Amino acid sequence: MTIDLKPKRTVSSHEPSDVPPWIEKESSLNGLQSGDLRPWHIVISYDQFDDDGDNVHSGVLDELWAGPKKYKISYKSDNLNQTDYATDRGLFRVGDQRWPSAVELRVRSEVVDPFYYTASLQGFHTQTSARDFGAHSLDCVQLQSEKGNGPTEYCFDQGGSALRYSRGRGWFQSTYNDIVSFKDAT
């Protein structure tokens, strides 16, 4: 797959006029952090690549969520095998006793709350563009710091609300494929 990092055209469908309300809206459409959610189950397969593009870790995160104090999260990978159970009595762990690494925790965050990092940003302005990812063209929003930090970038289906790609702090990148409708939203 060839990724063209040069914008092709300006896009206005995701142009946020005020960043905090835009983040809240997109988070509600693309995350699983709403207080009125019914129980849900999600399985995430992931690959972690190093700076040279070599796959250094692969795994599966399996989460069954029924509330903040009622969930089961399992990590099964080449370097972590554990299941956490949360109840009103506390958190219980079976398997490896170490806490997941920052990258392993990020796997969950990138799906359950893909705008978690952006919500903490201040003093940012936006720029929109279209980017080609192979044969796919996506509408993208870059959040650029007035101090020159960033950019953080979110790309969506053309004319749609489904998050398909994000680039956050550093060069952490996530792609979202095989998207399904959940709670009457994509």
Task: Please give the average per-residue pLDDT across 9-31, as a whole number.
Answer: 63
Cis amide linkage into residue 151, ω under 30° from 0: yes
pLDDT value at 170 more than 70:
no
More confident residue, 3 or 44: 44
Residues 46 and 73 in one domain: yes
Beta carbons of 61 and 69 less than 8 angstroms apart:
no
What's the pLDDT band for 184 if we cut at 50, 70, 90?
low
Residues 100 and 122 in one domain: no
pLDDT of residue 35: 60
Q: What is the mean pLDDT of the chain?
A: 79
Q: What is the pTM of this model?
A: 0.69
Residues 122 and 185 in one domain: yes
Cα–Cα distance between 14 and 139 in angstroms, integer?
7
More confident residue, 3 or 56: 56
What's the pLDDT band for 171 if we cut at 50, 70, 90?
low
pLDDT value at 30 more than 60:
yes
End-to-end CA distance of the chain: 25
Domain coverage including residue 55: 38-112
- Could you give the 3-state DSSP secondary structure of residue 79? coil
Beta carbons of 26 and 163 less than 8 angstroms apart:
yes
Residues 81 and 22 in one domain: no
Residues 125 and 180 in one domain: yes
**Considering 94, 112, 130, which residue would you say is the last residue of a domain?**
112
φ, ψ of residue 82 in degrees (nearest 5) = -155, 160
pLDDT value at 25 more than 50:
yes
Task: Please give the average per-residue pLDDT across 111-129, as a whole number.
Answer: 75
φ, ψ of residue 148 in degrees (nearest 5) = 95, 0
Residues 99 and 54 in one domain: yes
How does strand 152-157 pair with strand 136-145?
A: antiparallel
Beta carbons of 164 and 154 less than 8 angstroms apart:
no
